[in-house]
């Protein structure tokens, strides 16, 4: 159960996560997202006995899986928030996406980015010469950025959009899982889902969509040992009951799916950052594609940790642009 942050004067509806909501989200967004390619690679590790399929979400609009979550969230905003606006945080990678769709849907959008991204701020403000789009450069790290955005949400009665853990973001992004399973006609042996986050809701949401389509598919999560420190610090703050300086009946909480990964993820593998470099180069040389998260998923195959998948059909997503600290 999650609720929005930033507003305490209007009753807030609880949100529940389910496969039905993923399916409904797919239908409602059909005109707003691109059906990205999902096909077998004839070159990538074929000489080593692997049948690799790639879901190329980096060809999504604005080159990012995050588009699915952003669009679904903005389409489902209550009327009050569509007027007052949205505030969120970004390292800069997603700021242009948020500004673009805020402008397109005529929803006031404020994006808070770190101080060292001031050049990005100036570029976006010049691009969107619109009073409804605001980019603020503040703070030395993402925790300071987050705290500033929370204070702004409270004082200005804005919708605080958590790009990682808000249910609308999770549901919207999980539509990729549903879409790619349809594209391979549910006929896949394993899906490798990469993450830089411990307890990743993006992974869990996609895994739910996969398992609902075919429970026999093995879902493997690959996590980088050096997790995103500042994002984890931000997520730990979202569980504090006094962060909003009031105590609602139901507090916003990160890890909406914290009870699900055990039944959705069949195996978790951790890899070192050094292993990703070789995988990144392998993907680039074989497919002409550059995707950090796909390299995370590919790394344990290259190191022999997933030799058991030889001869099987293995699907790897390419997420495109994200706010990963190394992306």
Say if 249 falls within a structural domain: yes
Q: What is the pLDDT of residues 102-128, one digit of tens each?
A: 989 999 999 999 998 888 888 888 888
Hey, what are 287's tokens? 């497919």
Whether residue 178 is found in the same domain as residue 271: yes
Q: Are 116 and 122 in contact (CB under 8 A)?
A: no
Whether residue 246 is found in the same domain as residue 205: yes
Say if 11 falls within a structural domain: no
* C-alpha to C-alpha distance for 82 and 76, rounded to whole angstroms: 9
Q: Which residue has the tokens 């069949």?
A: 266
Q: Which residue has the tokens 């669009």?
A: 71
**According to the model, what pLDDT value does residue 253 have?**
43
* CATH code for the domain in which residue 103 is found: 3.40.50.1100
- Mean pLDDT computed over 292-298: 96
Q: Which domain holds residue 153?
A: 86-157
Of 166 and 315, more confident: 315
Other beta carbons within 10 angstroms of residue 8's beta carbon come to 13
Whether residue 101 is found in the same domain as residue 24: no
Provide the CA 6 distance to its chain's centre, in angstroms.
21
Other beta carbons within 10 angstroms of residue 23's beta carbon come to 16
pTM of the predicted model over 0.85: yes
The answer on pLDDT for 245 being more than 90 is no
Whether residue 181 is found in the same domain as residue 270: yes
At residue 252 the predicted structure's pLDDT band, cuts being 50, 70 and 90, is very low
At residue 243 the predicted structure's pLDDT band, cuts being 50, 70 and 90, is low
At residue 206 the predicted structure's pLDDT band, cuts being 50, 70 and 90, is very high
The answer on pLDDT for 8 being more than 60 is no
Of 12 and 171, more confident: 171
Q: Are 101 and 71 in contact (CB under 8 A)?
A: yes
Q: Where are the beta strands (DSSP E) in 176-320?
A: 190-195, 218-224, 267-271, 313-318
From 157, 182, 210, the end of a domain falls on: 157
Whether residue 237 is found in the same domain as residue 301: yes
Q: What is the pLDDT of residues 137-148, one digit of tens each?
A: 999 999 999 999
* C-alpha to C-alpha distance for 268 and 195, rounded to whole angstroms: 10
Say if 162 falls within a structural domain: no
Whether residue 53 is found in the same domain as residue 187: yes
Whether residue 32 is found in the same domain as residue 116: no
**According to the model, what pLDDT value does residue 4 have?**
54
Say if 186 falls within a structural domain: yes
Whether residue 148 is found in the same domain as residue 194: no
At residue 5 the predicted structure's pLDDT band, cuts being 50, 70 and 90, is low
Say if 189 falls within a structural domain: yes
From 131, 157, 183, the end of a domain falls on: 157
At residue 297 the predicted structure's pLDDT band, cuts being 50, 70 and 90, is very high
Q: Are 98 and 111 in contact (CB under 8 A)?
A: yes
Q: What is the pLDDT of residues 52-70, one digit of tens each?
A: 999 999 999 999 999 999 9
Q: How many domains does the chain have?
A: 2
Whether residue 132 is found in the same domain as residue 275: no
Say if 2 falls within a structural domain: no
The answer on pLDDT for 235 being more than 90 is no
Whether residue 224 is found in the same domain as residue 305: yes
């Amino acid at each position: 159960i999650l609720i929005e942050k930033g507003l305490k004067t209007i009753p807030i509806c609880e949100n529940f996560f389910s496969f039905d909501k993923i399916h409904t989200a797919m239908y409602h967004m059909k005109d707003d997202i691109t059906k990205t390619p999902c096909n077998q690679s004839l070159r990538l590790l074929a000489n080593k006995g692997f049948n690799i399929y790639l879901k190329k979400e980096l060809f999504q609009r604005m080159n990012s899986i995050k588009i699915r979550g952003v669009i679904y969230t903005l389409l489902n905003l209550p009327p009050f928030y569509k007027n007052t606006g949205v505030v969120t945080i970004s390292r800069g990678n997603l700021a242009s996406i948020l500004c673009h769709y805020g402008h397109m849907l005529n929803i006031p959008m404020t994006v808070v980015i770190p101080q060292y991204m001031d050049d990005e701020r100036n570029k976006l403000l010049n691009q969107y010469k619109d009073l409804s789009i605001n980019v603020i450069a503040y703070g030395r790290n993402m925790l300071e950025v987050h705290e500033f955005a929370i204070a702004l949400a409270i004082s200005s009665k804005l919708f605080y959009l958590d790009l990682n853990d808000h249910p609308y973001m999770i549901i919207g992004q999980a539509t990729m899982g549903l879409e790619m399973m349809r594209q391979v006609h549910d006929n896949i042996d394993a899906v490798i889902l990469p993450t830089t986050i411990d307890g990743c809701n993006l992974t869990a949401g996609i895994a739910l969509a996969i398992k609902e389509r075919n429970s026999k598919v093995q879902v493997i999560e690959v996590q980088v040992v050096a997790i995103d420190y500042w994002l984890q610090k931000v997520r730990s703050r979202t569980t504090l009951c006094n962060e909003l300086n009031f105590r609602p009946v139901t507090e916003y909480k990160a890890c909406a799916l914290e009870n699900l990964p055990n039944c959705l993820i069949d195996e978790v593998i951790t890899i070192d950052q050094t292993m990703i470099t070789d995988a990144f180069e392998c993907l680039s040389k074989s497919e002409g594609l550059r995707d950090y998260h796909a390299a995370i998923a590919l790394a344990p195959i290259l190191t022999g940790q997933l030799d058991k998948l030889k001869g099987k059909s293995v699907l790897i997503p390419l997420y495109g642009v994200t706010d990963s600290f190394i992306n």
